[in-house]
Amino acid sequence: MEQVIANGLYLGAQYALIALGLTLIFALMNVLNFAHGQMYVLGGFITYTVYGQLGLPFVVALLASGMTLAVIGALMEKYLFRTVIKRSHREESTMLLAAATAFFFDAVILLIFGEKQRGVPKIVKGVFNTDGLIMPYDRIAVGALAIVFIAAFILYMQYSRPGRAMRALAQDRVAAQLMGVAVERYSMIGFAMGAMLAGIVGGLLVTITGVNSGIGGPISIKAFMMVMIGGAGVVGGAIAGGFILGMMESVGLTVLREYGDVTYLVIFAALMVFLSIRPNGLMGKPWG
Amino acid sequence: MVDLLQVSGLTKRFGGLVAVNNVSFTVREKEILAVIGPNGAGKSTLFKLIASFLRPTSGEVLFKGERISDLAPHIAARKGIVRTFQETTIFKNMSVRENVIIAHHLRSKANLLGFFLGTKLAKADEQAFGTSADEILEFLGLSAISSEIAKNLPHGHLRALGIAIGLATNPTILLLDEPFAGMNHDETMKAVAMVRRLRERGLTVLLVEHDMPAVMKISDRIVVINFGEKIAEGTPAEIQSNAKVIEAYLGSEDEAIGL
Amino acid sequence: MTRVAKAASISAFLAVVFILVPVLIIATGRTDLYYTLTSVALLSIASAGVWLTFFIGRINIGQGAYALMGGYVSAILVVNYGVSFWLTLPLAGLFCAAASILIGYPILRLRGVYFAMVTLVLTEVARLLALALPITNGAKGMVSIPLPGALSIFGVTIIPNFAGMQSPRLAFYLLAVTMMVLCFAAMYRLVNSRIGKLCQSLQQNEELASSIGVNIAYLRVIAYAISSFFGGVAGAIFAAISQSIYPSSFTVTDSINFMLNCFFGGLGYVFGPMLGTLVLYFGWDLLFQTGKFQLLIYSTLMIVLMLFLPNGLLSLGDLLRKRGSNNG
Ligand SMILES: Nc1ncnc2c1ncn2[C@@H]1O[C@H](COP(=O)(O)OP(=O)(O)OP(=O)(O)O)[C@@H](O)[C@H]1O
Ligand SMILES: [Mg+2]
């Protein structure tokens, strides 16, 4: 039992961090970033290169992952999404763009890093072991780091100037503009931050699960689900969604172990029913 | 005159907030009844309840003696209760005429399959809707702009188009939510005359409005709402001298009742 | 377009797909193109369904689920119950339509990304169900599905037995193209009839639509059912052509591709999904020669096109027309 909860919390913390980036971009721009999983993978490969290959400290690697992705995110917003949103009749068009960038990242990742599964040395060795609860120290470290990042993110959004501007933007774009918020600038910052979060989680998790070029899509789908559970565009929702999915997976994989994929079937079906009853997730804003 | 609509004990809660609290009144056939009250008083919510866009927490609305509170909005519309929206709500990518034609939906005799196959009945419908739409546009003075795309219209025209859409459904009761908002004096006077003509056509009109001179001029009776509760009901003259009403309006900051 | 111009372009289109293409293929001996074009035709049918849901203002990433469902329904009926393929074809469509009514009624209340995500999850659910259900034969799928037999009505053979043919490829091509023409004709009629206007009213403002008496829930479900019907029919023919169907025959990637085809052709144009499918599928095929750069070039081109024609390929016509009228 404790084991299930501990696994759920560990999964939940990283999931929440993934979902936060996605929901931030959605909240600011109404863009569903299909490339989120690919950004995660890119972050993983960068940490793999810097920490695993070049042997630099893990912190440097993590920083490199976050920074690179932030730059990529900013460029994407400025040169791709902004233009398409301006020129398109229907805002859904950004989906095609997002999907195309996802393909693009897939292609780039495949060309640069190849298709092999890659791992890095553990950041902390050893296993925490008391009766009934087994948890490798590196998982604990990663889970704790994830929680630190989540807390930092919340504090930043709550108290910093850009954070407040972004919240105003998420609430009502037009009103924010009237209030003098530099909409374009903060859209770019928000996109960069969302991408950075994806990169950081990628960098964190490569130390545990490793990374390969094919997992971008599935990661995106999981991130979508978390965001839907909690409610799109809401920070609290993304965190709740992340932990809920983490718990469900942890419980599901224990209870339904012998049925294999049935766990996901049950989770998916439950999600569909849940959303039919609560169309905006736990705490989401209505859309469209 | 006969009671067409009976609102009794209507209450709507949003979480902890009671937006409409135990409101009762009746609407007589072919009258113009205004609902007034400060911002956030619950007027639009009341209209949504009457038009079945929201379900009441308790209480009910009777239309010709029949309970309509749990119906879907399109059923209420079919029965003859149609609302326009506070925000200018139109089909923005259609032309003005298309907007009005589509709003004739309730009058169609052909069904969906008929429209797909283009049966005689469907063609007759199309013909009739077109004629009727032109007539409505003429009536509201919108003929000149009938082929403009709706999103390009100026504000005053949008309001008029909203009313045209409402009219096209051939309602018994038309609920207008702030029909004069954003209009200048002349436009308002024109619109007031237009609402009068609606009544001459046999419609019963319920309207929410902040423009007090217009309200006083146009309505047969007035219902006043404050913090979700009905605080007064009566003729314009009665309302203007009602102490509670004056207090409610003086209590709010920048509202002028135009006494 | 005038009546004459319309009739002329329709006849030209029919002449190309039914006569010119087969003649050219036979002349050049490139019979492999049959398969490509058949795929394009079928995928464009499924994409047409997605387009129709876009038309009522919903982003549908669940068409793969119905294509899979249609494929399995047809395969199971043919293999386990010996039903004629020709009967299973409408049955597959109807089964999907019925299923979509049950599923659609609750989920069509969702909007925007929520609907998009639920439908995406639906694709996964369909795949996992196909893996888990006994009747679908799990991961092994259904294989060696017999080719379509003869179709005869009152003893008159309308369609000969595919198994006895010299080139079932041509037969499948003609079948797929015929279905495509029928589907798009139906869509064109739908969109240009009053139903099309009603759908547009949903897309533009559901609340207003219901205030003028439109039964929005009903209309949404109808549109979604037609959409899923298209998906089911496409899936059924696919299963017949490949003579097999697996849980992985239609996945999330396919669902996304259907959606992309619509975007790419243009959401504002009935024939958008057809053109979008053709260009994306052929584009991908042509880029095969670039080897490992295939995906990179493909996605780059897609991004560039998106930047310059965000309203789809068919919006190019509108742009040129506008430019023309501005100059003239
Ligand atoms: N869907 C909703 N959920 C929660 N609260 C709501 C909802 N709709 C309205 N309210 C609240 O109910 C109260 C009454 O709102 P309503 O729109 O009916 O006021 P109103 O009298 O029409 O005001 P105005 O004159 O500004 O149009 C307000 O406090 C509003 O915030
Ligand atoms: Mg109001």
CA C41 to chain centre: 8
Q: How many domains does chain A have?
A: 1
In the predicted model, what is the mean pLDDT of residues A68-87? 93
**In B, residues 63-82, which contact C (CB 8 Å cutoff)?**
72-74, 77-78, 82
Which tens digits make up the pLDDT trace of C157-197?
A: 778 888 777 778 888 999 999 999 999 999 999 999 989 99
Residue A122 DSSP code = -
Which tens digits make up the pLDDT trace of C31-43?
A: 888 899 999 999 9
Distance A247 CA to ligand 2 centre (A): 43
CA of C209 to nearest chain B CA: how many angstroms apart?
A: 8
Tokens of A154: 């919340």
In the predicted model, what is the mean pLDDT of residues C146-165? 80
H or E stretch covering B224 = strand B221-226
Q: How confident is the model at residue A188 (pLDDT cuts 50, 70, 90)?
A: very high
Residue of chain C whose alpha carbon sits nearest to that of B77: C213
Which tens digits make up the pLDDT trace of A104-129?
A: 999 999 999 988 888 888 887 888 88
pLDDT of residue A285: 63
Distance B8 CA to ligand 1 centre (A): 20
In chain C, domain spans: 34-265
Residue C1 has pLDDT above 70, yes or no: no
Let me know if residue A91 belongs to a domain: yes
Return the beta strands (E) in A3-64 as ranges: none
Q: Which of C52, C35, C61 is nearest to C258 (CA)?
A: C61
* Alpha carbon distance C42, C245 (integer Å): 15
Residue of chain A whose alpha carbon sits nearest to that of C108: A276
* Alpha carbon distance A165, A178 (integer Å): 12
Q: Which residues pair with B62 in a beta bridge?
A: B6, B67
* Alpha carbon distance A237, A229 (integer Å): 7
C-beta separation of B245 from B216 below 8 A: no
pTM: 0.89
Let me know if residue A82 belongs to a domain: yes
What atom of ligand 1 comes closest to residue B48's alpha carbon? Answer: 18
Q: Which residue has the tokens 């495509």?
A: C180
Q: Which residues pair with B27 in a beta bridge?
A: B5
**Which structural domain range is residue A199 located in?**
2-214
Let me know if residue A198 belongs to a domain: yes
Residue A50 has pLDDT above 90, yes or no: yes
Express the helix, strand and coil content of chain B in percent, nearest 5 each. Answer: 40, 25, 35
Tokens of A2: 């404790």
pLDDT of residue B253: 47
Tokens of C269: 């144009």
Q: Enumerate the H helices of chain B as residue ranges.
A: 43-50, 73-79, 96-102, 112-117, 120-139, 155-168, 185-200, 212-218, 236-240, 243-251
H or E stretch covering C255 = helix C252-265
Q: How confident is the model at residue C139 (pLDDT cuts 50, 70, 90)?
A: confident
Distances A145 to A95, A150, B258 between C-alpha atoms, Å: 32, 9, 63
CA of A233 to nearest chain C CA: how many angstroms apart?
A: 11
H or E stretch covering A65 = helix A58-75
Q: Please name each of the domains of chain B with its CATH number.
A: 1-80+172-191+202-259 (3.40.50.300), 88-170 (no CATH)
Nearest residue (by CA) to ligand 1, atom 3, is: B14
Which tens digits make up the pLDDT trace of C112-122?
A: 888 888 899 89
Let me know if residue A181 belongs to a domain: yes
Nearest residue (by CA) to ligand 1, atom 16, is: B42
Let me know if residue A225 belongs to a domain: no
Would you call A232 and C114 a contact, using CB atoms and an 8 Å cutoff? yes
- For residue C210, list chain B residues with Cβ-Cβ distance below 8 A: 53, 72-74, 77
C-beta separation of A146 from A204 below 8 A: yes
Let me know if residue A115 belongs to a domain: yes
What atom of ligand 1 comes closest to residue B43's alpha carbon? Answer: 21
Enumerate residues 6+ apart whose C-beta is below 8 A from C5.
Answer: none
pLDDT truncated to tens, each residue of chain B (259 aa)? 568 899 999 999 988 889 999 999 999 999 999 999 888 889 999 999 999 999 999 999 999 988 988 889 999 999 999 998 877 788 988 999 999 999 998 888 888 888 888 888 888 888 899 999 998 898 888 889 888 898 888 877 888 888 889 889 889 999 999 888 877 788 888 888 888 888 888 899 999 988 888 888 899 999 999 998 998 898 988 888 877 777 777 654 444 444 4
**In B, residues 165-224, which contact C (CB 8 Å cutoff)?**
165-166, 168-169
**Averaged pLDDT score across all residues of chain C:** 90
* Alpha carbon distance B176, B88 (integer Å): 11
Enumerate residues 6+ apart whose C-beta is below 8 A from B129.
Answer: B101, B104, B107, B108
* Alpha carbon distance A269, B64 (integer Å): 45
Enumerate residues 6+ apart whose C-beta is below 8 A from A221.
Answer: A37, C120, C121, C124, C252
Which tens digits make up the pLDDT trace of A221-266?
A: 889 888 888 888 888 889 999 999 998 888 887 887 766 677 888 8
Residue of chain B whose alpha carbon sits nearest to that of C204: B91
CA of A107 to nearest chain C CA: how many angstroms apart?
A: 5
Let me know if residue A255 belongs to a domain: no
* Alpha carbon distance C235, C215 (integer Å): 30
Distances C310 to A81, B1, C253, C306 between C-alpha atoms, Å: 11, 59, 21, 5
Q: How confident is the model at residue C265 (pLDDT cuts 50, 70, 90)?
A: very high
- In this complex, is the C-beta atom of B139 within 8 Å of any C-beta atom belonging to chain C? no
CA of C52 to nearest chain B CA: how many angstroms apart?
A: 15
Please tell me which chains touch A, using 3 or more CB pairs under 8 Å as the contact test.
C
Tokens of C229: 């019907």
Phi/psi of residue C119, each to 5°?
-70, -35
ipTM score above 0.90? no
Ligand 1 pocket at CB < 6 A? B 14, 17, 19, 37, 39-45, 86
Distance C183 CA to ligand 1 centre (A): 46
